[in-house]
A = this chain, B = another copy of it.
Amino acid sequence: MVKHSTQLLDRTFSALADPTRRSLLEHLALGDCCVTDLARPHRMSLPAVSKHLKVLEGAGLVSRQKQGRVHSLKLEAAPMKQAQQWIEEYRRFWEASFDRLEDYLKQLQPNETKHEDPN
């Protein structure tokens, strides 16, 4: 398996382990926006949204740009790609072991046929 940054994966998976944070990321996938716009559909207070955004920023999943008093939030791809890669490699690795089992069972079949009673 490819070596991933352990801490980056820890922080990414931890950030994704909350429905509000996943929802904020889905919202930001539509385009950059400010904290107030993010808070509105979630019916959350600004401090509550800010708390979740801090976790997402800590994981590097979201970056913040300050334009005067307005803070614009933007998705960052890299950490999510690492997380996706980990699951993907793990899946391939795992499915490969199923394939090996399947191959093994196929190899067994002809021998089993020989033992079958012709009647």
Contact = CB atoms under 8 A, between A and B. Distances in A.
Contact of A19 (B6, B31, B77, B94): B6
A80 interface: yes
A31 B90 CA distance: 13
Interface residues of A, number: 30
Quick one: which of A22, A25, A80, A86 has the most chain B CB within 10 A? A22
A26 B13 CA distance: 16
B97 A30 contact: yes
Copies in the complex: 2
Contact of A14 (B1, B11, B17, B22): B17
A89 to B, nearest CB: 9
Interface string A78-102: 0010011011101101100100000
B93 A26 contact: yes
Contacts of A14: 13-14, 17
A17 B26 contact: no
Interface of A: 1, 6, 9-11, 13-14, 16-19, 22, 25-26, 29-31, 75, 77, 80, 83-84, 86-88, 90-91, 93-94, 97
